[in-house]
Amino acid sequence: MVYVEQYIHYTPVGEYLRLVILRRLARGPAKVEEIDKLAEEAVRRLHVRYDWRVWPRLLAREVEVKDGTVELTHVGRWILEQTGEEVAEYVKKRLGVSL
């Protein structure tokens, strides 16, 4: 049996939100409330309608939420290291926002 991982496509706003949160968590774990506030503020800065509360689903593989604390998984750290700059360029091109 061959396992094929399907690539997930996110909207530019979803990519922006993911990158903002991943960059914050690269500095260390954070309380869920801090990430909620970060996500809400990030979306508000874009002046778009987007449900910022989806961040746990957007980052299901990249973060772990445990006992009210959010931290990067090994997958999350790897994704940030490998694709962070490319995603930042994509977000800047599509949304006009520099990170």
Identify whether the C-beta of residue 42 lies closer than 8 Å to the C-beta of residue 50. no
Residue type present at position 39? A
pTM of the model: 0.89
d(CA 45, CA 87): 18
SS3 48: coil
Cα of first residue to Cα of last residue in the chain, in angstroms, is: 41
Please report the domains of the chain, with CATH numbers, ordered by start residue.
12-93 (1.10.10)
Q: What is the pLDDT along the chain (99 residues), one digit of tens a residue?
A: 555 555 566 899 999 999 999 999 999 999 999 999 999 999 999 999 999 999 999 999 999 999 999 999 999 999 999 999 999 999 999 999 988
Q: Specify burial of residue 76 (Cβ count, 10 A radius: 0-12, 13-18, 19+).
A: buried
